[in-house]
Amino acid sequence: MIKKILSILALFLLAFGYFSCSEESNPEFDQDNFTKIYDSNSFTATYYPIDLEQTADGGFIILARTEIENTNFFGTYLLKADQDGNFENEMHFDASFVNPVAKFMKVGDTYTFFCMDEFRMAKLVSIDGNLENLTVSLVNGITYPYVAALDNTNFVLQSFNDVDKKTAMSIINPAGNVVKNKEFDLGAGFEIDPEIDIVQHFFKFGKKIPFQVGKTGSTYYFNGFYNYSIALVFTDLNADDPQGVVYGEGDNGGISTAVPIAGSKFALARTNFGKNYMLPNQTLNMSGISSSEGGNPFPELEINAPIQILRATSESKNVLVYASNTRSKQIGLYFYDETTGAFLSSRYLGFSNPFEIGNLTQTEDGGLAVCGTTYLAGRFPRICLFKISKEELAKQVK
Amino acid sequence: MKRLLLIMLCLALLGTASFAQTKKRKPPKNFNSKNKQDEKFLEKQFWMGLKAGTNFSKVHVTKEYSVISPVNNEETSKVYESFNKPGFQVELELTFYFKGFSASLQPTYRSSSFAYTNHYEWIDSETATNSLTLDYYQEQKLEYFEIPFVVKYDILSGNLRPYIQLGGYGAFLINANKTVEVSGLDLASGGENPFTNEPVIVGAKDLFAKSNWGLIGGAGVNYNIGNIRINLDIMYRYGMSNIASTQNRYSNDRLAGVGDAMDDMTMDNISISLGALFPLRFLSSGFKSSDSK
C-alpha cells in the first residue's frame, strides 16, 4: 500500500515538475525577436526609413525621410527605439535639413549622416544615442550629397556638382572639412540627360538611382553616373581617370549594390531594364573596363527594386544577406554563403500591408535588425523594425 | 492575491465537506444486515464513463505586447471579451470512490475560444473629413488534451448525490487557429465608406505555449438510474501558467504583419458537462451493482 502511495506521489511530482516548466515571461526573448511598427495617428504623416544603427544601450536609432511642407525634397527624421523595439524618442528636423542619405554611421558614441540644406549644400549631422547633443557642420563646396560611407575616422561621400555637372567623390573629416575631392565627367552629349535623372533622384517620389560609395583596400569606389552610364568606378582619388570601370546600360541598368568581400571579390546586385540579378560571389576587374552581366535573375522582386546587402556572421559562418522588395509587397531576405556564393535560404517579412526594405544590420547579440516602410491600412507609410534572433539566423544559414 | 484566493476557496470547500460529512453519516432506521453488506460494498467503487459539454473562457493578461508602437499618442490596449465564445469538451472519466470521497482522472479533449479587438484611428488635424478607423477582431481557437485530476466529496448519499470537487489539470496544446477580421470606417474617400474585409485565418500553434496548468474547483451531481450513473458536472479551471509562447510571440510573419502580438496571459475556463458513468465492481454475476437495488 505504501509503495502504491509513493508511486502515485512520484507520478504527481513528475507531473508538477513538467508543468512548472511552463512558459514564463522572459525579457531576453522580448529582445531577441520582435516586430514593431511605429505609428503616428496623423493622417498626413509619412516616414521612409533609410538606415539604422544599434545604440550602446541595445536600442536602435532609425534615420528616415519624411514629407515636409514647402519643399520638393524629403525632410529628415530620427526615431529611437529601446532594446525591446518600443518607441522611446523622436526628432523632426526643419526644412534646412532635407534629403538625408545613407549610410547612418556610428562614430564613437555619436551617430552621423549627411543631408543638405535648403540651398543644396551638404551638411554633416551628428547626434548621440539618446537623440541629444546635435552637432551640424556645413560641408563647404559640396552640393547634392548622394550617399556616404565610413573611411576610418573620416567619411567618403559621393555627390553631384551641379555647377560643373560632375560626379564628385570627397573625403570629409568629422569636422565637416573636405580633405580630398575628385570629380568625374558624366559624359558630354549623353543622349539621356543625366542631370534630369539626378534631379528626379532628389525629388520626393522621383526615380531613384542606386548610388553607392565605399572603399576596398586602398581603392575607393562609387556607383553612379560616369561617362554616359551608371557605372561602378574604381579610383585612388589622385589620378584624374578612374582605375577601373564596370559599365551598365546607360541609365537603364548597371550595378545596383556593391559590397566588397576581399580584394576584387564583391557581392553584387545589378539591374537591367528593371530586372534584378544577384551575384553573391563576383570577381571584378578593378583596373580595366568591363560591363555588368550575369547573376541569378529574381523575377519575384519588384522592377528596379532597391537591394541591400549585409555581410553577417552566424556561428562562425560568414554569410551574405540580400534584402529587397518582392512583388507580393513583402521584404525578402535571401541568405548566401559568403565563401562559395551558394544560396542557403530565404525568408519573407510582412504580410497583409505592403512592406519595403529600408536597410539591415547585424546586432550585438548576433541577430539581425531590419528596418523598412510599411503602409498601415494600405496607405500610411510608417517605419517598421524586425528583430531576428541569433538562433533564427542560424537556422536560416544552416 | 491569486494564491490567497485559492487557499480561501480550498478552505471553504473543505469546510463545506466536513459539515456535510457530519450531517450525512447517520445510519438509516431500517438498517439491517443486507444493507450493512451493501453499504460495506459501496464504500469502494470504480467508475468509468464519458462526458461531453460546452465551455466558455476568459483570459487574464499578465503583460501586454503590441506590434504597433505609437509615436505621438497613447498605446491602446486590446479589449478582451469574457466567457462569450462557446467551446466544447469530451471527457473520459475514471473515478475511484471510497467512503464519500472520490479520486478522479478525466482525460479531456477541450476546444476553447477567446477573442479581443484592437482599435486604430488616423485623423487629419487640418481636414476633419480625412479620417480612418480600423477595428481588428481577433478570435483564437485552441484545442487541448487535458489531464484533470480532482478529488470529489459526495455531500449526500442515495440516488441523487451532489458533490463538490477540487483539483488541478495539465493541458497539452494540440492545435491553435486565429481568425482576424478587419472592419473600419473610411471618411477620406469622398464620402462615408464603412467596410469589412474577408477574415484572415492562420494556423497559430506556435504562438501558444505547448503546455499549461491550473487549478480546478467545481461541483456536480450524480443521479443513479439502474446500473448507470448520470453525471452533471461544472468545473472552473483557474489558469496558473502563461498560455502564450514567449519565444514565438512575433514568429508568425502573417500575424505580425497585420499588427498583432499575443499578450502574456493565463486562461480561466468554465465547463458544463453531462455524461454517464458505469460501475466496474459488481455484487453478483448478473452485472448488478448494489446501487441498482
Q: How far apart are CA B202 and CA B206, in angstroms?
A: 11
Cross-chain residue pair A352–B241, CB shorter than 8 Å = no
- Is the pLDDT assigned to residue B173 strictly greater than 80? yes
Q: How far apart are CA A178 and CA B199, in angstroms?
A: 57
Q: Pick the residue with more confidence: B46 or B3? A: B46
Q: How far apart are CA B55 and CA B246, in angstroms?
A: 26
CA distances from A177 to A119, A166, A237 (A): 18, 20, 16
Cross-chain residue pair A39–B246, CB shorter than 8 Å = no
pLDDT computed for residue A192 by the predictor: 52
Instruction: Provide the residue type at A101 as one letter.
Output: V
The per-residue pLDDT for range A335-345, each reduced to its tens digit, is: 999 999 999 99
Suggest the residue from B138, B189, B250 to mutate for an interface test with chain A (most A CBs closer than 10 A): B250
Give yes or no for a contact between A294 and A279, defined as CB atoms under 8 angstroms apart: yes
pLDDT computed for residue A314 by the predictor: 96
First to last CA, chain B: 49
Range with the poorest average pLDDT among A207-211, A267-271, A379-383: A207-211
- Rounded mean pLDDT of B232-241? 97
Query: Does residue A41 sit at the B interface (CB-CB below 8 Å)?
Result: yes
b/e code A95-107 from CB counts within 10 Å (16+ = b): ebbbbbbbbbbbe
Q: Spell out the residues 6+ positions from residue B147 whose beta carbon is closer than 8 angstroms to its own.
A: A15, B105, B106, B107, B108, B169, B170, B171
pLDDT computed for residue A9 by the predictor: 55
CA distances from A130 to A106, A109, A133, B73 (A): 13, 10, 9, 20
Give yes or no for a contact between B99 and B43, defined as CB atoms under 8 angstroms apart: yes
**SS3 at position A140:** strand
Give yes or no for a contact between B104 and B94, defined as CB atoms under 8 angstroms apart: yes
Cα angle A358, A179, A183 (rounded to 5 degrees) comes to 70
Q: Return the sign of the alpha-carbon dihedral for residues A100, A103, A108, A109.
A: positive
Query: Does residue A5 sit at the B interface (CB-CB below 8 Å)?
Result: no
Q: Which of A214, A312, A303 is closest to A253 using CA atoms?
A: A303
Q: In which band, very low, low, confident or very high, does the pLDDT at A194 lie, cut at 50, 70 and 90?
A: low
Instruction: Provide the residue type at B171 as one letter.
Output: A
A316 CB burial (10 A radius; 0-12, 13-18, 19+): exposed
Q: Spell out the residues 6+ positions from residue B198 whose beta carbon is closer than 8 angstroms to its own.
A: none
Q: In which band, very low, low, confident or very high, does the pLDDT at B248 lie, cut at 50, 70 and 90?
A: confident
- Is the pLDDT assigned to residue B31 strictly greater than 70? no
Q: How far apart are CA A309 and CA A287, in angstroms?
A: 24
Q: Which residues pair with B233 in a beta bridge?
A: B220, B273
Q: How far apart are CA A41 and CA A56, in angstroms?
A: 30
pLDDT computed for residue B25 by the predictor: 46
Q: Which of B149, B144, B88 is closest to B274 using CA atoms?
A: B88
Task: Return the C-alpha cell found at A132.
Answer: 541629444
Q: State the number of CA atoms in the 13 A half-sphere of A168 facing the CB.
A: 22
pLDDT computed for residue B11 by the predictor: 44
pLDDT computed for residue B108 by the predictor: 97
DSSP chain B: -HHHHHHHHHHHHHHHHHHHHHHHTPPPTT--HHHHHHHHHHTEEEEEEEEEEEEEEEEEEEE---SEEESSSPPPPPEE--S-SEEEEEEEEEEEEETTEEEEE--EEEEEEEEEEEEEEEE-SS-TT-EEEEEEEEEEEEEEEEEEEEEEEESS-SSEEEEEEEEEEEEEEEEEEEEEEEEEEE-SSSS-EEEEPPPEEEE-GGGB-SEEEEEEEEEEEEEEETTEEEEEEEEEEEE-S--B-SSSTT--HHHHHTT--PPEEEEEEEEEEEEEEEES--SSTTS--GGG-
The per-residue pLDDT for range B181-234, each reduced to its tens digit, is: 999 999 987 788 899 988 888 899 999 999 999 999 999 999 999 889 999 999
pLDDT computed for residue B4 by the predictor: 43
Q: State the nearest Cα–Cα gap between B68 and chain A, in angstroms.
A: 5
Cross-chain residue pair A87–B68, CB shorter than 8 Å = no
Give yes or no for a contact between B87 and B57, defined as CB atoms under 8 angstroms apart: yes
Cross-chain residue pair B213–A22, CB shorter than 8 Å = yes
pLDDT computed for residue B211 by the predictor: 94
pLDDT computed for residue B36 by the predictor: 66
Cross-chain residue pair A26–B246, CB shorter than 8 Å = yes
Q: How far apart are CA A295 and CA A35, in angstroms?
A: 32
Q: How far apart are CA A346 and CA A280, in angstroms?
A: 14
Query: Does residue B257 sit at the A interface (CB-CB below 8 Å)?
Result: yes
Query: Does residue A221 sit at the B interface (CB-CB below 8 Å)?
Result: no
DSSP letter assigned to residue A339: T
Give yes or no for a contact between A290 and A247, defined as CB atoms under 8 angstroms apart: yes
pLDDT computed for residue A295 by the predictor: 87
Instruction: Provide the residue type at B252 as one letter.
Output: N
Please tell me whether the peptide bond between A103 and the residue prior to it is cis, using omega within 30 degrees of 0: yes
Cα angle B25, B105, B154 (rounded to 5 degrees) comes to 15
Query: Does residue A25 sit at the B interface (CB-CB below 8 Å)?
Result: yes
**SS3 at position A183:** strand
CA distances from A381 to A44, A48, A365, A377, A378 (A): 9, 7, 29, 9, 8
ipTM: 0.87
Query: Does residue A264 sit at the B interface (CB-CB below 8 Å)?
Result: no
Q: In which band, very low, low, confident or very high, does the pLDDT at B43 lie, cut at 50, 70 and 90?
A: confident
- Which residue in the set B69, B125, B147 is minimally distant from A38, CB to CB? B69
Give yes or no for a contact between B257 and A350, defined as CB atoms under 8 angstroms apart: yes
pLDDT computed for residue B260 by the predictor: 81
- Rounded mean pLDDT of A325-343? 96
Query: Does residue A355 sit at the B interface (CB-CB below 8 Å)?
Result: yes
Q: In which band, very low, low, confident or very high, does the pLDDT at B285 lie, cut at 50, 70 and 90?
A: low
- Rounded mean pLDDT of A191-207? 70
The per-residue pLDDT for range B119-159, each reduced to its tens digit, is: 999 999 888 888 999 999 999 999 999 999 999 999 998 88
CA distances from A206 to A202, A203, A209, A325, A396 (A): 7, 5, 9, 18, 35
Give yes or no for a contact between A101 and A115, defined as CB atoms under 8 angstroms apart: yes
Query: Does residue B96 sit at the A interface (CB-CB below 8 Å)?
Result: no
The per-residue pLDDT for range B50-102, each reduced to its tens digit, is: 999 999 999 999 999 999 999 987 777 899 999 999 999 999 999 999 988 99
Q: State the nearest Cα–Cα gap between B103 and chain A, in angstroms.
A: 12
- Rounded mean pLDDT of A247-257? 88
What is the pTM (predicted TM-score) of this model? Answer: 0.87
Q: How far apart are CA A184 and CA A215, in angstroms?
A: 17
Selected residues 209-228 of chain B with any CB under 8 Å from a CB in chain A: 209, 211-213
Cross-chain residue pair A43–B254, CB shorter than 8 Å = no
pLDDT computed for residue A164 by the predictor: 87
Range with the poorest average pLDDT among A188-192, A214-218, A229-233: A188-192
pLDDT computed for residue B9 by the predictor: 43
